[in-house]
Structure 1
Amino acid sequence: MVASAFALAAFAVAPAAAEPAASPASDATAATAATATTVSAASTAPRNKQGKASRTWKVRTEKQLRTAVRKANRTKAKDRIVLVRTIRFATGRSARGGVGRGDLDVRADLVVLGRGRTINAKKVDRVFDVRSGTRLVIKRAKLRNGAPAETESGGLIRSRGTVEVRKSHLLSSTVTGAGASGGAVMNEGGTLRLVDTRVRGNEAERAGGGIEAAGGSTFLVRTRLTGNATGAVPGNGGGLHLTGTGDVLVRDGLVSGNTASAEGGGLWNSATGTFVVERTTIRRNSAAGAAADQGGGGLFNDGGSLTVRGSEIHDNTATGAAGSGGGVLNNLGTLVVATTEVRDNTAPRAGGGIEANLGSTTLVGSTLRANSTGAAPGNGGGLHLTGAGKVLVDTTQVLGNTAVEGGGLWNAATGQLSVTGSTISGNTATGAAADQGGGGIYSDGTTSVSGSTIASNTATGAAGSGGGVLNNQGTLTLTGTTVQGNAAKRAGGGIEANLGTTTVARSVLQSNDAGTAPGNGGGLHLTGTGSVEVTQTKVYDNTAVEGGGLWNSATGTMVVRDTHLRGNTASGAAADQGGGAIYNDGGDVEVMGATIEANRATGAAGSGGGVLSLNGDLTVGWTNLDGNTAPRAGGAVEVNGGSADLSNVNARGNATGAAPGNGGALHITGAGTVTWTDGSITGNDASNEGGGLWNSSAGVLTATGIVFDANTAPEGPDAYNDGGTMSVNGVPVLPGTGT
């Protein structure tokens, strides 16, 4: 009889519309009134739509809490429990036995009003187990120290129904054993809503250190996932993990300091999941998976649909030996990153900011900044694409990222990378080999860049190439793009084309530098049997040892059409170095409809202020060569062996220096063969011989339909023949004489 009196005194039944008072004095008054008067819930409480009475229970002890839940389960009404004091589960109690023991089985709609107080499970079991079709609402409560039986999931809450947690804390809980997931919460196909809530310091053996969503719908709004962790089997989703076909929305939140032993330090999305992150900060999370398709320090997408909008992803790490995607790893799925900053993330293998393994990846209006890779192999500081995937980078800034290859972006041999309306600036590639580099972009596959700026990127390795872009045996197309102020150690200050196909159209190559090792192709350099086409482009103020503007290989093919080459410099000191605007190292070069002006070969014996062709085939048509200079020979054009065919070409105001200073407009060295048909040679100057034309002792030079005017030289102001075969406008020029 005493126990029954205590039970009556312990529960004050009040109308559901009356919010419980917060002060201790009010609590005491309510308790006294309940002791003095027994009130019939059925007669006084408001009724729900089914006519069932709703009740409010004020509880101070574990026993009172369990009794309240048991009684609430007997009605379809939405009862309320108000925590008056902190509740602590008794240790030593069996975890089996329904509401009376272990967790609290919620079988009817229930609201728990915590008023800032705690339910401490004391590692006895979880706190709530919610069945399908049931709704549990928790407000302003702290749930902590949950630990269900081994292999069970949901350290504090397990639910197949609907759970809403508001302004609460879910803390320091653990699930252990094979398959155990959801250190704090397990949503088993139901609906989970967390609003203004903190999920901190929880652990799960399998997945979802903080929260596991097995299907269903999960919504986190203004919620913090911090310091949660997974175990090793498999160890995915330190903060939150989605399994199967479910939906997750994380909005206006914080995901920080979570760890996963394999994938998705912060968040993990399944192969059939739909995951949206909006206006959320994801920072300082880590994933330790050792394989190349593991990592994703901040987020991991395992084949589903992941969208990140208006968020920040920074200072996350993939720490495994070949871990990838310091910020995000998209594995075979669809990733969209919009108006989001991805910065200061790191990965050992690839994708310091983002790793795309196959699948589809889109960046829109976003920023990749100061992300980096390690050295294993260390590719794609900002973003790395593995395999036959597709990446679109649109209206995005790629700034200050670092890698061995592709400081900014890296594209695979079977990949497709498209960059539109973006800025790629200040990125660095440190690779030491000749086929490494690509400070801004490295591409093994198919890459297109349009309406973009590639500026101030560097390839810093000993033989690093492609300060702005390195196309390694792939297909590169630049349209309407500015490549400016980039630098490389070996070659291709702006662009390095190693084999493959490279097209530059309606673009600008300006102020790029190829370095000195050997330092070729300030604007663009072609290595090997590749092809390059440059059309309607401005090639301005680039610098190199050879080919200040453009450099073609011995087996390469280069076509330059309707292009303006101006102010480029080649500093090579040898007689076969120079080519201020264009250098041809034995391949085929065709120049049509171009203007080549004010370019310089500045080395001690530098030759070909405008163009130097060494043992190759040079074709120039409908082109103007104006104001180019070289110290040794060929103020406009130097042909050293090989052949050249010039048609409708005008050379004006070109000049040589005094070392020895021959061929103000054109100079032939060795057994070169040149035909110049139609055009004009006016106002050119040579310090020694051949103010306009100079032919070697073994050369063949035929000029037809040429207008000469105001050329100057001490010997042969218009033309000089040093012993070879020379004819000017049908008149032979004898060896050792000039005209």
Structure 2
Amino acid sequence: QGADPDTGGGGVFNNGGTLDILNGTTIINNIASGTSGSGGGLLSVAGDVTVTDSNFETNAANRAGGAIEIIDGTLTFESSIMTRNDVNSAAGTPNPGNGGGLHVTGTSSTIDILTSTITGNFAANEGGGLWNQNGTTMNIVDSTIDTNDAPEGGGIYNNGGGIVTVMTSTVSGNTASVSGAGIQNNGASFDLNAVTVANNVSSGTGGGIESTTTTSLKNTLVATNTASSGVDVNGTFVSNDYNLIGNDDAGAFPEQANDIEGADPMLGPLQNNGGTTETHELLVGSVAYNAGDPADLFDDQIGQTVFQGRRDIGAFEAQDILLSIDDIVDSGSGIVIYPNPSQGTATIAIPVQFGSEIQVTIIELGSGKIVKRFSSVTGANDVSFNGMANGVYIITVVSEKASSTHRLILAK
């Protein structure tokens, strides 16, 4: 703790060195209380910092960076938690009070936030969770930014010429009294791919994302946010396709051919669905299921592989079939399954337009588990259901040229 005007680094000060914070370290209850005090937990100037498997908790600063202030240099924040840090009066009168969790200053920094959680941090002005600066590149991967608060940019604030990339991450439950409850982008670029932005609340505009410059989205779900206007998105955007925007009341989003607008994504609550960071799972009937870019086969936020050969929109990849019985209909593909109901065997007749390299998958409807998968050809294919219990199953037939989904009733 220090009260001088330029005091910073209430817990740790790194002046141009290499600093490793590892293996369950907790930096807690430190204060940088000077009028220009920054980095309640840690201040690093032109240094290289690595934080792994550690916590920054209930630290505070007056100027900026309740938990961490980086002035040039690098920070890798991996498998760690930043929680309940404050630049909102805990250290004195905020001046100005930016970056409740992390604040970056200077002209040349690189920040990597990997498999981490930024939660419950507060800022008096901008960037409740994270605040990024001109000249800084910030990469956020496999992480959750939730329940942070600031007047602008409750979750993330990108300033001036800052560059932010967010990949397979969740921005949820953040709040703002002015704009950009989830994300406020005033920087050079802000790119999102396979991100879920949900349940953020702004008393003003941009419940999900407020963008005064340009924000680009791909495979990204922005829905169930709240604002007086620009409910999910407000400002200037680029669509790289395969996105779901729940409510574009401001007409801000330039919808592309495979984007979905005006739909309820049917999200579960933010919770532990596996992995080390919390996510929103997709519920049965979600239109985000299998609606992402077929060419993108990278894992989801918690390390789950793409299920059924095509990714879902958002940070979470469902590992079960999410169709209701009403969704399972013959799509007019010409495939015939008979007899159906089956007493133990059936014939799947596949027309020639499916071509070669055909894969048939049989999924138990109740559990969503795959019970049989095999390669097939056009024409009549006899299939035995030995070892399968009576019930309702989904049969998917997929090739490079076509796909079809059908319901099978097994009654032996």
TM class by shorter-chain length?
0.5 to 0.7
Higher relative contact order (CA 8 A, sep 6+): 2
What per-residue deviation string (whole Å, max 9, x for no partner) do you get for residues 468-497 of structure 1?
000014210011110010011221100000
Q: Deviations over 1:330-366 (max 9, x none)?
A: 1110011111010100000100010011110110000
Alignment of 1:397-476 (within 5 A): 397-403=117-123, 404-430=125-151, 437-444=152-159, 445-460=162-177, 464-476=178-190
Query: In structure 2, how many angstroms separate the alpha carbons of the residues matched to 1:551 and 1:350?
Result: 35
Rounded to whole Å, the distance in 1 between the matches of 2:60 and 2:16 is 22
* 1:611-659, Cα deviation, whole Å (9 max, x unpaired): xxxxxxxxxxxxxxxxxxxxxxxxxxxxxxxxxxxxxxxxxxxxxxxxx
How far off is 1:413 after superposition? 1.8
- 1:288 positional shift: 3.0
SS of residue in 1 equivalent to 2:179: coil
CA displacement 1:94-143 (0-9 Å, x = unmatched): xxxxxxxxxxxxxxxxxxxxxxxxxxxxxxxxxxxxxxxxxxxxxxxxxx
Q: Distance in 2 between matches of 1:551 and 1:368?
A: 35
Task: Kindly indicate whether residue 209 of structure 2 is the aligned counterpart of residue 490 of structure 1.
Answer: no
Q: 1:368 to 1:304 in 2, by over 3 A?
A: same
Structure number with bigger Rg: 1
2:59 paired residue number: 345
Which string of whole-angstrom CA distances, capped at 9 and with x for unpartnered residues, describes residues 227-266 of structure 1? xxxxxxxxxxxxxxxxxxxxxxxxxxxxxxxxxxxxxxxx
Judge conservation of contact 1:534–1:561 (CA < 8 Å) in 2: no
Alignment match, 2:231: 522
**AA matched with 1:382:** G
Q: Which residue type is aligned with residue 380 of structure 1?
A: G
* Aligned counterparts of 1:412 and 1:316: Cα–Cα separation in 2: 24
Find the aligned partners of 2:188 and 2:229 in 1 and give their Cα distance: 20
Match of 1:50?
Answer: none
Q: Which residue of 2 aligns with 1:677?
A: none
- Indicate how the Cα distance of structure 1 residues 534 and 428 shifts in structure 2: closer, same or farther if over 3 A, else same: farther
Does the alignment pair 1:290 with 2:9? no
User: TM-score under structure 2 normalisation?
Assistant: 0.60
Provide the secondary structure at the position in 2 that maps to 1:513.
coil
Q: Deviations over 1:181-233 (max 9, x none)?
A: xxxxxxxxxxxxxxxxxxxxxxxxxxxxxxxxxxxxxxxxxxxxxxxxxxxxx
RMSD of equivalent CA atoms: 1.8
2:163–2:187 CA contact under 8 A, matched in 1? no
% identical aligned pairs: 37
Matches within 5 A, 1:172-321: 286-291=1-6, 294-309=7-22, 310-321=24-35
User: Conserved in 2, the CA contact under 8 Å of 1:520 and 1:551?
Assistant: no
Q: Does 1:551 align with 2:251?
A: yes
| Distance in 2 between residues matched to 1:476 and 1:346, nearest whole Å | 27
Deviations, residues 377-425 of structure 1 (Å, cap 9, x unaligned): 1111010111221111100000000012110000002211110000100
| Gaps in structure 1 of 5+ consecutive residues | 1-285, 431-436, 569-594, 596-739
Cα deviation digits, residues 408-467 of structure 1 (max 9, x gap):
00000221111000010000013xxxxxx111000011001001010000112xxx1111
Pair 1:289–1:558, CA change in 2 (3 A) = farther
How many residues align? The count is: 256
Structure 1 residue 384 corresponds to structure 2 residue 103: yes
Structure 2: which 5+ runs fail to align?
89-93, 265-286, 288-412
Distance 1:458 1:551 in 2: 22
Q: Which amino acid aligns with 1:566?
A: G
What is the distance in 1 between the residues matched to 2:214 and 2:149?
A: 24
Give the Å deviation of 1:565.
1.4
Preserved CA contact (<8 Å) 2:153 2:180: yes
Instruction: Pick closer, same or farther for the CA change 1:534–1:331 going to 2, 3 Å.
Output: same
Q: Is the 8 A contact 1:402 1:429 kept in 2?
A: yes
Q: 1:399 to 1:525 in 2, by over 3 A?
A: same
Q: Alpha-carbon deviation of 1:534?
A: 5.2
- Out of 222, 245, 250, the position equivalent to 1:539 is 245
Shift, 1:559, TM fit:
5.0
Counterpart residue identity of residue 507, structure 1? T
* Superposed CA offset, 1:153-204 (max 9, x none): xxxxxxxxxxxxxxxxxxxxxxxxxxxxxxxxxxxxxxxxxxxxxxxxxxxx
Match of 1:329 among 19, 33, 43: 43
Q: What is the aligned partner in structure 2 of residue 612 from structure 1?
A: none
